[in-house]
């Protein structure tokens, strides 16, 4: 995994939070979404989507915050935005090979 910079992504009205998290981690780490570990290893994606599912008008809920770690990143979801911060010291492709 190649760790790059933090990534913030706004939640679209039609987008599941779990999908936004995967896309933001993919962009922040430079790892294709299909190569990320399963989200269930970090958090239940169905429960995450249910927490942030807005009322009937399809607007995301605000005033709710969830933070967890996944794929060597800290994921913070709050007020309609997903912020992904690669953890300092996470293994990168640039790590020196063992001697």
- Predicted local distance difference test score (pLDDT) of residue 1: 42
For residue 85, what are the contacts with CB-CB under 8 A and spacing of at least 6?
A: 6, 28, 73, 74, 76
CA distances from 3 to 18, 21, 37, 45, 77 (A): 20, 16, 15, 23, 20
User: 65-70 and 7-10 as β-strands: parallel, antiparallel, unpaired?
Assistant: unpaired
The pLDDT score that the predictor gives to residue 41 is 95
The whole-number pLDDT of residue 95 equals: 42
The domains of the chain are located at 7-86
Instruction: Please list the pLDDT of the chain residue by residue as tens digits (99 residues).
Output: 445 677 777 776 667 899 999 999 999 999 999 999 999 999 999 999 888 876 655 565 668 899 999 999 999 998 888 999 998 765 544 444 444
Find tokens 């935005």 and name the residue. 81
The 3-class SS string of 52-74 reads: HCCCCCCCCCCCCEEEEEECCEE
What is residue 93's predicted lDDT score, i.e. its pLDDT? 43
Q: Which three-class secondary structure state does DSSP give residue 86?
A: strand
pLDDT at residue number 86: 93
């Amino acid at each position: 995994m190649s760790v790059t910079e933090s990534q913030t992504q706004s939640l679209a009205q039609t987008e599941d939070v779990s999908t936004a998290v995967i896309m933001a981690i993919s962009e922040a780490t430079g790892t294709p979404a299909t190569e990320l570990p399963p989200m269930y290893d970090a958090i239940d994606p169905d429960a995450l989507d249910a927490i942030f599912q807005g009322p009937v008008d399809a607007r995301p809920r605000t005033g709710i915050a969830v933070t967890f770690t996944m794929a060597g990143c800290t994921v913070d979801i709050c007020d309609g935005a997903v912020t992904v911060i690669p953890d300092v010291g996470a293994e990168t492709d640039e790590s020196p090979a063992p001697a």
